[in-house]
Amino acid sequence: MRDFTGSVHRPGDAGYDEARRAWNRAVDPRPALVAEALTPQDVRCAVLEARTKEMPLTVQATGHGTLADVPGALLLRTGDLDHVFVDPFRREVSVGAGAVWSDVIAAAAPYGLAPLSGTPWIGVSGYTLGGGAGYLSRKYGLAADSLLGATIVTADGELVEARDELLWALKGGSGNFGVVTELTLRLFPAERVVAGRSFHPGERAQEVLAAFEELEQPDELNAAVLLMPGMVGLRVLAVEGGERALAPLLKAAGDPLRGGFAEMSFQEAGDVLGPRHDPAPVAHGFELFHRLPPLEGVFGEVRRWGGAMAHGEGPAGHRDVPFSVISSEPVDLPGRTGGAFLNFLVDTSRTADAYTRADYERLVELKKLHDPDNLFRPSHLIGS
Ligand SMILES: Cc1cc2nc3c(=O)[nH]c(=O)nc-3n(C[C@H](O)[C@H](O)[C@H](O)COP(=O)(O)OP(=O)(O)OC[C@H]3O[C@@H](n4cnc5c(N)ncnc54)[C@H](O)[C@@H]3O)c2cc1C
C-alpha cells in the first residue's frame, strides 16, 4: 500500500491471524487486508486505498466492540496511535485513536482528574463514539457528550477537524462518518472515590432489586445490581458522599458473603470494578425499562441511568429511561421499551433502536452526506 509506514498483512501471511483477531471471540473477522497504522497519514493512506480498490473499511482499536465480519474489508488497526496529552489547566485530554482508558486514567490521575471511562481496558474511541456510560456518568454525563473535538479522516481521504453536525454525529454515531485519529475530551475532578463490589446470598435478590428500584439515587452515586447464580452483588462507585444513599440497598442485601466498599483513588477503582478479562465471546442481551421486569432466573447486571446522562446534546441513547438490564444471554423480558444503547447492543440488526427516531433520521442524512458509498463499515451501520 503506497506510503503506508505500518505493517500490512494479507491472508496467508505469518502475522495475519494475530492481526485480524478481535477481543470479542464471538466473531472471527477475515479481512482481505489488515493495515496497522503508525501515524494519521497512514490512516489517510488506508482510507484512500480502500476507496480506490472499492473495499469496505473497518476499524479496530481493541476489538471489544467488533460484532460482525465484513467480507472483503480492509481492516485498519489503530492500536499504535496511543498518545495521551493531558492539559490540567483546561481540564482536557487529547487521545490518539488507539489508546485505552487505563492510559488516560493514569495520565490524568496526578492532577486529581478523571475521564468518563468505564471498564479501563476498553478503547477510548469505540467507547466514546458509541456513547460511553462510565462510573462517573451519573454525575457528569456520557463520555460522548464530553467530546470537545475530533480529528478525522473523511471518506475522500482528507484529515479534518470535525465541527458542527459532523462533531454532533460522532457523539454516539460510532465509526460511520470517518476514521478518528485523535479525540479531545473533557476531564473531571475525581481524586478519591468510594468503590467496590459486595456479594450477598442469592435469596436476597428480589429484595435488593425492589430496594434498587425505589432508591433515591443522587447523581454522586453509581450503583448496579449484579445477578449471579446463587448470589446477588452490588457494584458501587460514589463521589462526594454519594455512598450515604446506599443504606436502603445495603439493608435489603444483608451481610455480605464477601467484598465491600472502601475509599480509594479513581485509578484503583477501575481495577476493582472492571478487572481485566482475557478475550471472550460477547453475546449478552440488553434492554431498557421504565420499571424493572421480574428477573427471577436472569443473570446479568441491572443499571440505573439518568442523572447527568439524561442531558446532553449528542445522539447517544434514550435520555428518559431509568433502568437497563444486561442479561448473560438475550431474554424476552416484559416491559422493555424497545430502545437500546449502542455500546451494549450486540444485535447489529437493531442499530436504529439505540437512538430516538429524530436523532436516527438526522444520523442517516449525515451518513449519506459524509459517506454516500458506505466506505466506513462499523459493526453498527447507520442507514441500512
Ligand atoms: C468487557 C466489556 C466491558 C465494557 N464496558 C463498558 C462500559 O463500562 N461502558 C460502555 O459504555 N461500554 C462498555 N463496553 C462496550 C464498549 O464500549 C464497546 O464495545 C466499544 O465499541 C469498544 O470500543 P473499542 O475501541 O475497545 O473496540 P473496537 O472493537 O476496537 O471498536 C469498536 C467500534 O468502534 C469504532 N471505532 C473504533 N475506533 C475508531 C476510530 N478510530 N475511528 C472510527 N471508529 C472507530 C468502530 O466502528 C469499531 O467497530 C464494554 C464492552 C466489553 C466487551
H or E element at residue 95: strand 92-96
Residue-wise pLDDT tens digits, 26-79:
999 999 999 999 999 999 999 999 999 999 999 999 999 999 999 999 999 999
Under 8 Å between Cβ of 344 and 330: no
Q: What is the pLDDT of residue 1?
A: 85
Give the ligand 1 atom nearest the CA of 23. 29
Q: What is the pLDDT of residue 277?
A: 87
CATH of 192-349, one of 3.40.462.20, 3.40.1800.10, 3.30.70.1140, 1.10.3720.10: 3.40.462.20
Determine the Cα–Cα distance for residues 238 and 223; give it in Å rounded to an integer: 8
Determine the distance separating the centroid of ligand 1 and the alpha carbon of 127, expressed in angstroms.
4
Considering the entire predicted model, what is its pTM?
A: 0.97
Q: What is the pLDDT of residue 36?
A: 98
Could you tell me the three cell numbers for 5?
509506514
Determine the distance separating the centroid of ligand 1 and the alpha carbon of 100, expressed in angstroms.
10
Under 8 Å between Cβ of 283 and 329: yes
Q: What is the pLDDT of residue 329?
A: 94
Could you tell me the three cell numbers for 267?
485509578
Residue-wise pLDDT tens digits, 293-321:
999 999 999 999 999 999 999 999 999 89
Residue-wise pLDDT tens digits, 115-144:
999 999 999 999 999 999 999 999 999 999
Determine the Cα–Cα distance for residues 323 and 335; give it in Å rounded to an integer: 11
Sorted by sequence, the CB contacts under 8 Å of residue 332 that are 6+ apart come out as none
Determine the Cα–Cα distance for residues 376 and 369; give it in Å rounded to an integer: 13
Q: What is the pLDDT of residue 315?
A: 98
Determine the distance separating the centroid of ligand 1 and the alpha carbon of 128, expressed in angstroms.
8
For residue 167, which of 154, 157, 64, 135 has the smallest C-alpha distance? 154
Average pLDDT on 160-174 reads 98
Tell me which DSSP letter residue 279 carries.
-
Architecture of domain 7-77: 2-Layer Sandwich (3.30)
Which percentage of the chain shows pLDDT scores above 70?
A: 100
Could you tell me the three cell numbers for 8?
500490512
Q: What is the pLDDT of residue 2?
A: 84
pLDDT at 275 over 90: no
User: Using a 6 Å CB cutoff, which residues line ligand 1?
Assistant: 59-66, 78, 97, 118-119, 122-123, 125-127, 129-134, 174-175, 179-180, 277, 282, 343, 378-379
CA-nearest residue for atom 51, ligand 1, is 64
Determine the distance separating the centroid of ligand 1 and the alpha carbon of 235, expressed in angstroms.
21
Alpha helices by DSSP H, the chain: 16-20, 40-52, 101-108, 124-129, 137-140, 164-170, 205-214, 247-253, 266-273, 357-370
Distances (CA, A) of 36 to 6, 16, 75: 5, 11, 8
Q: What is the pLDDT of residue 307?
A: 96
Give the ligand 1 atom nearest the CA of 66. 29
Average pLDDT on 177-196 reads 97
Q: What is the pLDDT of residue 365?
A: 98
- pLDDT tier at 152, thresholds 50, 70, 90: very high
Alpha helices by DSSP H, 218-281: 247-253, 266-273
Average pLDDT, whole number, for the chain? 97
DSSP per position, 132-201: ---TTHHHH--GGGGEEEEEEE-TTS-EEE--HHHHHHHTTSGGGS-EEEEEEEE-EE-SEEEEEEEEEE
Could you tell me the three cell numbers for 279?
478475550
pLDDT at 274 over 90: no
Q: What is the pLDDT of residue 169?
A: 98
For residue 56, which of 43, 39, 65, 69 has the smallest C-alpha distance? 69
Topology annotation, domain 84-189: 3.30.465
Determine the Cα–Cα distance for residues 292 and 335; give it in Å rounded to an integer: 8
Could you tell me the three cell numbers for 42?
497512514
Residue-wise pLDDT tens digits, 81-114:
999 999 999 999 999 999 999 999 999 999 999 9
Instruction: Work out the angle between the directed axes of helices 266-273 and 101-108 (0-180°, nearest 10).
Output: 160
- Domain definitions of the chain by residue range: 7-77, 84-189, 192-349
Determine the distance separating the centroid of ligand 1 and the alpha carbon of 118, expressed in angstroms.
11
Give the ligand 1 atom nearest the CA of 122. 26
Residue-wise pLDDT tens digits, 203-235:
999 999 999 999 999 999 999 999 999 999 999
Give the burial class of 68: count Cβ atoms within 10 A of its Cβ; 0-12 exposed, 13-18 middle, 19 or more buried: middle
Give the ligand 1 atom nearest the CA of 380. 47
pLDDT at 384 over 80: no
The SS3 of residue 92 is strand
CA-nearest residue for atom 45, ligand 1, is 175
